[in-house]
Chains A and B, each alone.
Chain A
C-alpha cells in the first residue's frame, strides 16, 4: 500500500515534469551549449595536472580541451540537478502539505520526489555522456558516466535540502548559485586545485569526490570506486538531513 502511494506521487511528479516542455528542452540545451563553448574556446595544447585521489606526484597529461569538457560536464550536471532538486521540493510545497492531510506520509512524498530526481539525473548523465562522446572518448566511459551521475545526485540532494530549508524561490536559487558556482564551477577544476592554497577546504566541498571519480575514470586507469562510494555517502548525508527536516516541516498535529 505504501509503495503504491509512493508510486502514485512519483507518477504525478514525473507527469508534471514531462509536461513542462521548455524545462526539458533547457535541460538538454544547457549542457550541449556548455560543451560547444568549451570546444570552441579552449586550446588543445597538452596541460599537465595532478589528481589528488590518484597521486600527489603523478602528472596527467591530456589536452586542455578534454580536461575542460569533463570539468564542465560535472559542473553542468551539478547546476541542473541542484535546481531540479530545489524546484521539486519548493514548487508545490503547499499542495504536498495538503496531500499529507489527505493521508499521504511526508516521507512517502520525499521518497517520490527523490525518485524523480534519481531518474532525471540518470537520464541527464547518460545524455551528457553521449554529448561528451562526440568530442572525445574517455578512458573509462562507464566510470565517467557514473562520476557525472554521482555529481548530479550529490548536488541534487543539496538542491532538495536547500528547498526544504528555504521557502523563497529566489533565495533558494541564490543559495545554490553560491555553492555550485564556487565548488563545481571553480574550485574543483584540477588545473586550479593543483596550485591552490588550503586544499583541505576544497576536499570537503560536495563536488570533490564526484569530480575526482569522473576525472580519474576519464583520464586514467586508476580505481575510482572509492571516490564514487564517498560521493554516494556525501549525497546520502545531505539527503538524510533533508528528509528529517522535511518530515519536521510537513508534520501534522493530531
Chain B
C-alpha cells in the first residue's frame, strides 16, 4: 500500500519540558490509526506537528498534499451560519460549487444537522457545533484526515454515525489518524499508537 504519511524521529519541547521524543511511524492509504495517551501526553502536539501548525525541533514529516484537520476545540465563527462556513471552507479547499454542495448535503445527512443549515453557530448546541467542526474537515474528501477527539459532545447515535462514516471513507481509500480516549474505539483501529511521557509505542 502507498505511504500517505511518514513521521521520522520527530521531537518537540516546550521550554525544558520534552513533549515528544523521537516519534516515528508511517501510515498507508486506507488505514485507520488511533492515538491514545493520558492528558498532556503530547497527542495534540503530535497532530499539530503533522498538520504543520507546529514546527518540530528535529525530525521530518512527509505529508500528503490534501489533508483535513479537525481540532480538539471548536474553531468556528460564532456570527456565521452553518452554510456560510461550508461555503467559506470550500473556497479555501478550492472546490467547485457542485462538488462542495454535494459533499455538504452528504455530511448534513450523515450527521443529521441539515435543519441547522441557516442558523448562526452561536445559536447551536455544543454537539452540533462539534458536528460542523468535524464536517468542515471532511468536506473536501482529503487523502488524510487528522482528527483530534472529533466526537467530544456527540450523543451515542451521532458517535456511531461518525464511526460508520469513518469506516466508509477508509474503505474508499482515505486514511484517518484519530486521537481517542475510549477503550471501545480501539477495536476499530488498524493500529494504535500509544503516547506516554513523550514516547510513542
The interface of chain A, by Cβ under 8 A from chain B, is 4-5, 8-9, 12, 15-16, 19-20, 92, 94-95, 97-99, 101-104, 252-254
Contacts and interface: CB of A to CB of B under 8 A. Distances in A.
The main secondary structure of chain A at its interface with chain B is helix
Interface of B: 49, 51-56, 63, 67, 69, 71, 73, 75-77, 79-80, 84, 87-89, 91-94, 120, 136
Contacts of B75: 94-95, 97-98
A254 B52 CA distance: 6
B83 to A, nearest CB: 12
B80 A16 contact: yes
Given A94-B75, A98-B69, A101-B53, A15 B92 contact: no
A201 B23 CA distance: 54
Given A20-B79, A252-B52, A12 B93 contact: no
B71 A98 contact: yes
Contacts of B94: 103
Given A16-B79, A16-B80, A103-B93, 15 more contacts: A8-B88, A16-B77, A19-B120, A92-B77, A95-B76, A95-B77, A97-B53, A98-B71, A99-B88, A103-B94, A104-B91, A253-B53, A253-B55, A254-B52, A254-B63
Contacts of A20: 79
Nearest to A20: B79
B80 A102 contact: no
Contacts of A99: 88-89, 92
B69 A8 contact: no
Nearest 3 A-B pairs (CB), nearest first? A102-B92, A16-B79, A252-B52
Contact of B84 (A4, A12, A253): A12
Nearest to B91: A8
B136 to A, nearest CB: 8
B79 A5 contact: no
Contact of B54 (A8, A94, A253): A253
Contacts of B79: 15-16, 19-20
9 contacts: A19-B120, A95-B77, A98-B71, A99-B88, A101-B67, A101-B69, A103-B94, A253-B49, A253-B53
